[in-house]
Amino acid sequence: MKPTRVLVIAGSDSSGGAGIQADIKTITMLGGYAMTAITALTAQNTLGVAQVLSIPAGFVIAQIDACLADIGADAVKIGMIGSAAVAVAVAARLQSLDQHIPIVFDPVMVATSGGVLADGPTIAAFASLMAIATVTTPNIPELAALGGVEALVSAGVTVLAKGGDAHGAVISDTLHRPGEAPRTWSAPRIETRHTHGTGCTLASALAASLGSGMSLPDAVERARAYVRGALLAAPGFGAGSGPLGHAAAADPAKLNRS
């Protein structure tokens, strides 16, 4: 069987822990084939974001078109979007796809180190991406900035509300689907400062799983298990919030499914 083709529309993280670099590692480790349409370049490390260079919308769309016209895609993952113009152009391009494929949207606003990755107009334009996404995966502050779970679900958005930023010994993620009862997954907190790229990794694992035909709840379970394995396998690089251990996470002995 051929690998699941995942088109990632996201930003580059020079330090390799988050963004496109985390996406490619995750999709590859889960047996998929990653393609990229890069929306922004960041100069950053585990301590912070030094500079951001946004890519013009026309060039982002050209990358998408080049991938889709030749290789095609079974799923799309959207991460850091770079500008409001890119958000609107990407939403319009994905809406025009003749084939219905799963789209995972991680509404990235702030890096784990605190660097701002989306300005106000970009966040306002996220509505156009949520409207075409199969699932949107905000963390706690992102969900608040987007108006809260009730507003999103009543607008027809499927939300995986990530609880990793909450305090406490147990971490819960809850899937809210319009017209359905919420479903929650919980597990003991993994105590570590090395959480850079967890959001990117979860969303890419979801996209790779949905693209291979898994149901959304099954994809959430697989993605959570992969992220937990990668957290446990973090190499401890950098003086700040360091990267995950994407390669070692494929070791089933490290996958804590509790």
Shortest Cβ 127–ligand PLP spacing (Å): 19
Catalytic residue among 26, 39, 134, 195: 195
126 within 8 A of 88, measured Cβ to Cβ? no
Tell me which of 198, 204, 209, 212 binds ligand PLP, using CB under 6 A. 198
Active site includes 200?
A: yes
Q: Which of residues 96-155 bind ligand PLP (CB under 6 A)?
A: 108, 111-112, 117
**Kind of pairing between the strands at 75-78 and 48-54:** unpaired
Angstrom distance (rounded) from CA 169 to CA 167: 7
Of 25, 198, 201, 211, the active-site residue reads 198
> Up-side HSE of residue 134: CA atoms within 13 Å toward CB?
22
Cα Rg of the chain (Å, integer): 17
- Which member of 16, 122, 136, 200 is catalytic? 200
Distances, alpha carbon 246 to alpha carbons 12, 97, 243, 255, in Å: 17, 31, 9, 12
Residue of 26, 18, 4, 6 lying closest to 46 (CA atoms): 18
**Residue nearer to ligand PLP on the CB measure, 78 or 219:** 78
- Does 197 interact with ligand PLP (rule: CB under 6 A)? yes
Residue type, 175: L
Active site residue 158: no
Distance CA 183, CA 109 (A): 25
80 in contact with ligand PLP (CB under 6 A): yes
Annotated catalytic residue: which of 199, 211, 240, 245? 199
Of the candidates 13, 137, 157, 222, which one interacts with ligand PLP according to CB under 6 A?
13
Question: Taking the complex as a whole, how short is the minimal distance between the CB of residue 12 and ligand PLP, in angstroms?
Answer: 6
Which residues contact ligand PLP (rule: CB under 6 A)?
10-13, 18-19, 42, 44, 79-80, 108, 111-112, 117, 196-200
